[in-house]
Amino acid sequence: MDTLLVARAHGGTQHAVSHRSRATGTDMTFSVFVPPQANDGTPCPVVWYLSGLTCTHANVTEKGEYRRACAELGLIFVAPDTSPRGPGVPDDEAYDFGQGAGFYVDATEAPFSTHYRMYSYIVDELPDAVASAFPVDLARQSITGHSMGGHGALTIALRNPDRFRSVSAFAPIVAPSQVSWGEKALGGYLGKDRATWRRHDAVALIEDGARLPELLVDQGAADSFLKKELRPELLQAACAAAGIPLTLRMQQGYDHSYYFVSTFMEDHLRWHAERLLA
């Protein structure tokens, strides 16, 4: 593991590190905030944050405004990159596919299948990598994310319901099989058989029997992607039919940016902390 950043913040420490990933076959970067409660090596619960299209680990690290709340609550906050990167990694000219747009799936279609294994990276490899260097309590994990990362948080939690004590999202892509962002990405990474997409679609997973105890979702009512790409009403309907308690908060005047995410980040962290520290 190569250290890229160590900085003191709110009594804890902000880190950014790079490591060689066996899942993606590339170098991957992630950031970790360690709160003061872990300064002596005491294991602390962890919140995984998955970022959205075009983002790296740096977007939430620099704009998310999570450190003060994490320092107070004793939460470790981990933010990985959104895709493999590098000169040998297949890419696309558009912002919504290729590097920066891994969609948290394991690609099966060439040429993406060699490196685009973000599901395996997040679920199988990253927790071990983080635990090897930081005092995380992997018995107490929560997950959240923004936009494409909200999609990742929901689908990963639905497929691994015993791992996470709580799940939330900011403006998630809830039904990628039914919107243009998702159709392009899932078709490109997984192929034309739409049945294979369902394991990477939160609404479809719920329709197919996946369950969670509860969900918290914040959505900006002024989000320009709301009606075409995000469609939270589909998640609301699926949760209602499945009996999953969903708190969906439509935030008036807020858009899709980190001005929105940072405004409600503390609410989400306190919500997670109630479940992680119970």
> pTM of the predicted model, to two decimals?
0.98
The single residue of 201, 223, 268, 272 carrying the catalytic annotation is: 223
- Please state the rounded mean pLDDT for residues 80-101: 97
Secondary structure (H, E, C), 47-111: EEEECCCCCCHHHHHHHCCCHHHHHHHCCEEEEECCCCCCCCCCCCCCCCCECCECCCCECCCCC
CB 56 within 8 A of CB 146: no
pLDDT digits (tens, 9 = 90+) for 127-161: 999 999 999 999 999 999 999 999 999 999 999 99
pLDDT at 204: 98
Active site residue 115: no
pLDDT at 221: 98
- Kindly indicate the confidence band of residue 272, based on its pLDDT and cuts at 50, 70 and 90: very high
Q: Which two tokens stand for residue 116?
A: 């685009």
The single residue of 21, 83, 147, 168 carrying the catalytic annotation is: 147
Give the integer Cα–Cα distance in Å for 75 and 78: 10
pLDDT at 28: 98
pLDDT at 117: 98
Question: What's phi and psi for 84, nearest 5 deg?
Answer: -70, 155
Computed over every residue of the chain, the mean pLDDT equals 98
Active site residue 256: yes
Neighbouring C-alpha atoms within 13 Å toward the C-beta of 278? 10
Domains of the chain from N-terminus onward: 2-171+254-277 (3.40.50.1820)
pLDDT digits (tens, 9 = 90+) for 46-70: 999 999 999 999 999 999 999 999 9
- Please state the rounded mean pLDDT for residues 232-258: 98
pLDDT at 278: 86
Active site residue 2: no
pLDDT digits (tens, 9 = 90+) for 153-167: 999 999 999 999 999
